[in-house]
Amino acid sequence: MLLSIAGIDGSGKSTQVREVLKRLSRFPLKVECAKVDFHATLSIFDLANHLRGTPDDYHPWIPPVLREFTVACDVLRYSQDKLTQLVERCDVVLWDRGPLCYRSYASAYGVTDRHVSVIYDLVAKPDLTILIDLPAEAVVERIMMRGEKPAKMDENLEFLRVVRQCYLDIARKDARCIVINGERATAAVTDDILSLCRERIPGLGVLHYQMP
């Protein structure tokens, strides 16, 4: 089962991937985490650094269509070279981000180029995408509190509002995408994700709990 955890920056994707992994590790299941390795996209950040003096100041200086095409190429490469094999070897793969995220970012940056969209059609399709949804205001507060990583240029209220709307618009059209409320304690969000997995994926409903 390929489970994609989606949401705007700071919505708690990485936190949930970690928590769901912890909970599933109590069961006799092979569970692995996945996240796209950026390669060509890193050159976009290098270019932004060269042009603007900071790697995340890429917008609007580097045309969005060039950037999103580059991101899409990295996502497809990762899907074909690593993710597909991982899914074959594992009972559950927890994907931090996923096609919904990448399509939403492209849309938020106004990219409608068909080539980008066709590349995402070729990427492995998650069995289930869980969109952790919460208002951009709540996320900005979390990002400001986040000690480990300073806020990036695109982690601002105005842009995150647009990204959130793009997520919701794209998710609404996908039957394999479920929106959950992310404005709750971490454990409550994890509970929701696990119960959605059990409900939807045959086999996960008959998990045999192993005593720790």
Ligand X SMILES: Nc1ncnc2c1ncn2[C@@H]1O[C@H](COP(=O)(O)OP(=O)(O)O)[C@@H](O)[C@H]1O
Ligand Y SMILES: Cc1cn([C@H]2C[C@H](O)[C@@H](COP(=O)(O)OP(=O)(O)O)O2)c(=O)[nH]c1=O
Q: Which residues bind ligand X (CB under 6 A)?
A: 7, 9-15, 142, 146, 185-186, 189
List the structure tokens of 112. Answer: 């409608």
d(CA 102, CA 72): 7
Q: What's the min distance (Å) between Cβ of 211 and ligand X?
A: 28
Does the footprint of ligand Y cover residue 115 (CB under 6 A)? no
Is 30 marked as binding a ligand? no
53 belongs to an annotated ligand binding site: no
Nearer to ligand X, 122 or 187 (CB): 187
Name the minimum Å distance from CB 12 to ligand X: 3
Distance CA 98, CA 36 (A): 8
Contact partner at residue 10 from ligand X, ligand Y, none, CB < 5 to 8 Å by partner kind: ligand X
Tokens 């806020």 belong to: 151
Among residues 108, 86, 82, 120, the alpha carbon closest in space to that of 166 is found at 108
For residue 203, what is the enclosing H or E element? none
CB of 158 to ligand Y, least distance (A): 15
Nearest Cα to Cα of residue 14 among 39, 33, 30? 33
Binding annotation for ATP: 7-14
- Where do contacts with ligand Y occur on this chain (CB under 6 A)? 9, 67, 71, 97, 101-102, 105-106, 152, 154
